[in-house]
Structures are given as C-alpha cells and as structure tokens.
Amino acid sequence: MKILATGLSARFTDLGRVGHQHKGFTQSGALDRNSHLLANSIVKVAENNPTIEVLLGGFKAVATQELEIAVTGAQSIIKIGDICQPLNKQLVWKKGETLQIMEPSLGARNYIACRHRFKTAMFLNSCCAVTREKTGGLNLDGKGLQIGDELSFENKALMTANASTSGVPDIAKLAHEKQINQSDPRSALKKVSLPTTRLAKHYTVRLVLGYQHALFDHKMKARFFNQRFSVSNEASNMGIRLTGESIGQVSVKLYSEGIANGAVQITPSGLPIIMLAERQTIGGYPKIGSIIANDLPELGQCRPGSTIQFEECDLLTARKEWLLRQVKMNRFRQNEPQTSVDE
C-alpha cells in the first residue's frame, strides 16, 4: 500500500518496548492499547502485530494488492473508494482502491490492522517510532509514515492459534460451535460483546494513590478529585497536560525517579500532567498517584477540550478490572471466526 496523506500523524505502533527503560528508552506503544488489540483480533493476527495509529483522521492510502484490514478506535468516517465502511469489522480493500479515514467526531485515534503483516523495521523488539528519540519507525529515524511511503508485507501471514492456516474459516468447527450455541439455553449469555474502548467527551478515570501522595493534604486532594479538568493543547503520546483550578503546590525538592505509565505529576502551577506511553523514563515533579492500567486506553481517545475527572481506586480493584478486560478480549479473540462468517 502507498501512503497518500497522513493527517497530523500516522505511524506504526504495537505494544511497545519491554525492559529498556533503565537505559533511558521510553516504553512507547499504542496509546489506546485496547483498540490496537481489538484491530489485530478482528483480522486474526497476533496481538503484538504492527498496526497504524492515525491521530485525528486525515489518512489516505491506496492498496497495491488486495488486503484484509480492520479499523478500530475513534468514531470516524471510513471509506474504501466512495463507500462508507464500518468500524470494528474485517474489510476487504481491493487493489487500486483508496482507503480514507476522516477526522473523528468522537475520540482521537484510529488503528488499522492488516491480515498480512506489515513489513517494519524493529528497534528494541518493537516497530514504534519515537520522534523525540529519533528511534524506531520504518527507517529507524523516529519519523512517522510520510506521504509517498510504500508499505510492503511479509509473505507469510501470521496466524494466531485459533485461526485456520488457510485464512478460510474452519466451517466444520464453526458449524459445531453454532449448533452448541443454538441448543444451549444459555446461549444468550454466551454472546460475546465487542471489547471496544468507550468513546466520550468526558471520562472519569481511576487512580491509585502512590509516590508522594502523602505530601498532598486533604484540601489539595479534595480539589484534585472534585473537579473536571480540561485536556489542553499539550496532549501527545508523551502525556496530557490538564487545565483547571490549581490544587496548590507541595514544596519539596525531589531527586528524579522512575515514572510509571499513567503517573499523574503535579507541576509547580498546581495542575496535573498525566504521563503516557512515550513519557520520559525519569523525572522530578511530585506525583500523587497513577491512572490504573485498565483506564489508560480511554486517555488515548482524549483530545484537546475533552474533560477528565479523577476517582480514587484501590490496588485490588485495579488489578481485577485489568484482568477482566484481558479476559473479555481473549473471549472475543476465540469467538471471532464465528462472528465473521455471518457477514
């Protein structure tokens, strides 16, 4: 496929790098991890396969061979040729046709997965491009996709264990599963819902207290938890700077320390910055806690003007929510061949 327009940013992404932060390399990876996983699940490829992360639409490309793709994430109009296409479905994109993703009406990021594996360069076992570091990406220079880039594909289409190797759904298996579902009175309960990322203009995100939270007194915490902050224009894969009423300052000089994904720093102006996938590895602002892993994908769908409220969460709930989300995604993956045959 050939890139005709990239909008603000279109680039390869995956689940990011693991185990290189002590050297100063950022984690990176899909900001809406959930939509990335869903896209790969729909086209039945491994969860860490590269997808293209498109920020605020404006993406256009032409197919140089027939491809099976899926687009997930923000609520955008998607067109192949002149025909509007649904989100979260496997689509056939014929050779010579143009794929377009318009600016979303809700949410910020779309993910394009492809049944054929994109040929990407790998850096630290990830395809992610990090502009600030000048690492990763198609040419390992940290740049996102550029107009005119021609993307090629690995010859072997990678399959997950439950996908049939020929690319054709296993009819016998499907018929068997269907029969079970029809004869089972609990079949309605077995219906697998589509594990999409919830899209909204306002999000309540949950946070576990941590780091220097003891330095924030109850008034500061009240101001922190009891207001709707707005997402400023300074929102990127590195982090989201929020505006609102200052919660006040803590006077403490800290040594720089490791920053967790979702950590909420309070700047000297008393306003929060949520640190995300491409954050710097260490920093010295006081932190009140971190957004729970389960709620991070929603932050990937925030855009300037979205509002955010924090809600306190305990560690056991946080882990339970995250594990449940993985279970839902896995159930969807296992059931996917069945749902796709009805189309």
Q: Which residues bind another protein (CB under 8 A)?
A: 18-19, 21-25, 27, 119, 121-125, 132-135, 138-140, 208-211, 213-214, 255-263, 280-283, 289-293, 313-316, 318-319, 322-323, 326
The span from the CA of 267 to the CA of 246, in Å, is 10
Three-state DSSP at 60 gives: strand
DSSP 194: P
Asked if 292 and 270 count as a contact pair (C-beta separation under 8 A), the reply is no
Q: In angstroms, give the least distance from the CB of 134 to another protein.
A: 7
Residue 113: both structure tokens together: 């997965």
Dihedral, CA atoms, 116, 121, 126, 128, nearest 10 degrees?
A: -90
Q: In angstroms, give the least distance from the CB of 41 to another protein.
A: 18
Asked if 29 and 55 count as a contact pair (C-beta separation under 8 A), the reply is no
Asked if 306 and 242 count as a contact pair (C-beta separation under 8 A), the reply is no
**142 vs 169, beta carbon nearer another protein:** 142
**113 vs 263, beta carbon nearer another protein:** 263
Q: In angstroms, give the least distance from the CB of 111 to another protein.
A: 22
Instruction: Match 């059931």 to its residue by tokens.
Output: 335
Three-state DSSP at 275 gives: strand
Q: In angstroms, give the least distance from the CB of 7 to another protein.
A: 24
**Beta-carbon contacts of residue 234 (< 8 Å; ≥ 6 apart):** 240, 241
**217 vs 314, beta carbon nearer another protein:** 314
Q: In angstroms, give the least distance from the CB of 132 to another protein.
A: 7
**128 vs 235, beta carbon nearer another protein:** 128
Asked if 266 and 288 count as a contact pair (C-beta separation under 8 A), the reply is yes
Q: In angstroms, give the least distance from the CB of 255 to another protein.
A: 4
**247 vs 259, beta carbon nearer another protein:** 259
**77 vs 140, beta carbon nearer another protein:** 140
Q: In angstroms, give the least distance from the CB of 237 to another protein.
A: 16
The span from the CA of 56 to the CA of 103, in Å, is 5
DSSP string over 230-270: EEEEEESSSEEEEESS-----------EE--TTEEEE-TTS
**189 vs 316, beta carbon nearer another protein:** 316
Separation in Å, CA 317 to CA 4, 206, 207, 293, 313: 45, 10, 11, 11, 7
